[in-house]
């Protein structure tokens, strides 16, 4: 008990500094100090996940060479095999979670572990899972330890969990404003995508696909069957002269970049 009170007394000023820095460029450093005081770690990454769409890393403390692998390579596909991403898709509760509590048996022999996790030289990872309040959207603070470090303990997780409401609210307040503004700007530009080439229903479905919605989610949102969603999608793809979701994203990216498509 005495140890916990001492830790709290020394952590409180760090927490206050973190809150005071919301909305400024000092926030990530203040957040890292407050987190690290409760559970030491080597690197921090903050990422938005939106359904099955490609994740968006909004902060990391890596150098450029590390970032090429840890963020860009991760976002290109390995995230689909990440136990964190799978847990979110399966309805995990917001809070603090240890990687090896979420990983399946045989994780160290998995494709994800072999092609990504060991490649970025991590020994363990702990996640603070923050629900943003929007459907299928999460903000995850990923704390990682390098190969020479010990795994996170239950005590580490418990300490972070005791302060989770503060970390969650502060992080969401700091990063979600920028992310929301960015989404708003993208939404405005996407509103003109394929204008005049698709029917209103086809454009709605294409827009939801670009926002990471699954066929089932689109059917639920529009009140039509999954089969009908697939028919509209097929017709839209034909009108756009494409045949896959990857080509759709490529076409939309060119539109957002201001290229004629």
Question: Which runs of E-coded beta strand occur in 132-179?
Answer: 137-146
d(C-alpha 221, C-alpha 211), whole Å: 13
Asked if residue 199 and residue 233 are part of one domain, the reply reads yes
Does a structural domain hold residue 162?
A: yes
Asked if residue 163 and residue 42 are part of one domain, the reply reads yes
Contact 19, 170 (CB under 8 A): yes
Does a structural domain hold residue 106?
A: yes
Which pair of structure tokens corresponds to residue 157? 């997780």
Does a structural domain hold residue 76?
A: yes
Our count of domains for the chain comes to 2
d(C-alpha 34, C-alpha 50), whole Å: 27
Handedness of CA 66, 71, 77, 79 (dihedral sign): positive
Per-residue pLDDT of the chain (261 residues; tens, 9 = 90+): 455 556 666 888 888 888 889 988 899 999 999 999 999 999 999 999 988 788 989 999 887 667 766 777 788 788 888 999 999 999 999 999 999 999 988 888 888 888 788 777 889 999 999 999 988 899 999 999 988 899 999 999 999 998 999 999 999 989 985 554 555 555 566 667 777 889 989 988 888 877 667 788 889 888 999 999 999 999 999 999 988 877 777 777 677 666 555
Question: Which runs of E-coded beta strand occur in the chain?
Answer: 43-50, 56-60, 95-98, 122-131, 137-146
Does a structural domain hold residue 41?
A: yes
Beta bridge partners of 122: 146
Does a structural domain hold residue 186?
A: no
For residue 232, the enclosing domain spans 191-256
Asked if residue 223 and residue 245 are part of one domain, the reply reads yes
Asked if residue 199 and residue 171 are part of one domain, the reply reads no
Which pair of structure tokens corresponds to residue 183? 């989404």
Pairing of strands 137-146, 43-50: antiparallel
CATH of the domain at 202: 1.10.10.10
Contact 56, 72 (CB under 8 A): no
pLDDT at 214 (0 to 100): 79
Q: Which of 152, 180, 208 is the last residue of a domain?
A: 180
Q: Which of 180, 210, 234 is the last residue of a domain?
A: 180
10 Å CB burial of residue 116 (0-12, 13-18, 19+) is: buried
d(C-alpha 188, C-alpha 31), whole Å: 32
Q: Is 217 left (phi over 0), alpha (psi -120 to 50) or beta?
A: alpha
Asked if residue 164 and residue 97 are part of one domain, the reply reads yes
Does a structural domain hold residue 261?
A: no
Does a structural domain hold residue 185?
A: no
Contact 60, 31 (CB under 8 A): no
pLDDT at 169 (0 to 100): 93
Beta bridge partners of 144: 43, 125
Asked if residue 142 and residue 13 are part of one domain, the reply reads yes
Asked if residue 143 and residue 98 are part of one domain, the reply reads yes
Asked if residue 137 and residue 110 are part of one domain, the reply reads yes
Contact 175, 71 (CB under 8 A): no
CATH of the domain at 23: 3.30.450.80
Q: Which of 129, 150, 180 is the last residue of a domain?
A: 180
Q: What is the pTM of this model?
A: 0.67
Asked if residue 195 and residue 174 are part of one domain, the reply reads no
pLDDT at 142 (0 to 100): 97
Beta bridge partners of 143: 44, 126
Asked if residue 91 and residue 37 are part of one domain, the reply reads yes
pLDDT at 178 (0 to 100): 53
């Amino acid at each position: 008990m005495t140890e916990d009170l001492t830790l709290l007394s020394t952590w409180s000023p760090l927490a206050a500094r973190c809150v005071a820095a919301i909305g400024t460029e000092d926030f990530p450093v203040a957040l890292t100090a407050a987190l690290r005081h409760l559970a030491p770690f080597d690197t921090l990454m903050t990422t938005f996940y939106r359904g099955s769409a490609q994740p968006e890393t909004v902060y990391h403390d890596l150098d450029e060479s590390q970032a090429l692998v840890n963020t860009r390579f991760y976002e290109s596909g390995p995230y689909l095999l990440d136990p964190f991403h799978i847990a979110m898709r399966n309805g995990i509760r917001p809070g603090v979670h240890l990687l090896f509590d979420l990983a399946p048996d045989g994780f160290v022999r998995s494709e994800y572990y072999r092609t990504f996790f060991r490649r970025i030289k991590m020994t363990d990872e702990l996640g603070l899972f923050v629900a943003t309040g929007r459907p299928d959207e999460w903000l995850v603070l990923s704390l990682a330890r390098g190969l020479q470090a010990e795994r996170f303990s239950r005590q580490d997780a418990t300490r972070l969990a005791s302060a989770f409401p503060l970390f969650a609210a502060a992080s969401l307040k700091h990063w979600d404003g920028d992310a929301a503004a960015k989404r708003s700007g993208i939404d405005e530009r996407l509103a003109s995508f394929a204008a005049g080439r698709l029917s209103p229903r086809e454009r709605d479905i294409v827009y939801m696909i670009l926002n990471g919605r699954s066929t089932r989610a689109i059917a639920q949102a529009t009140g039509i069957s999954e089969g009908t969603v697939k028919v509209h999608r097929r017709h839209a793809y034909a009108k756009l002269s494409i045949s896959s979701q990857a080509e759709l994203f490529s076409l939309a990216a060119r539109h957002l970049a201001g290229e004629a498509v």
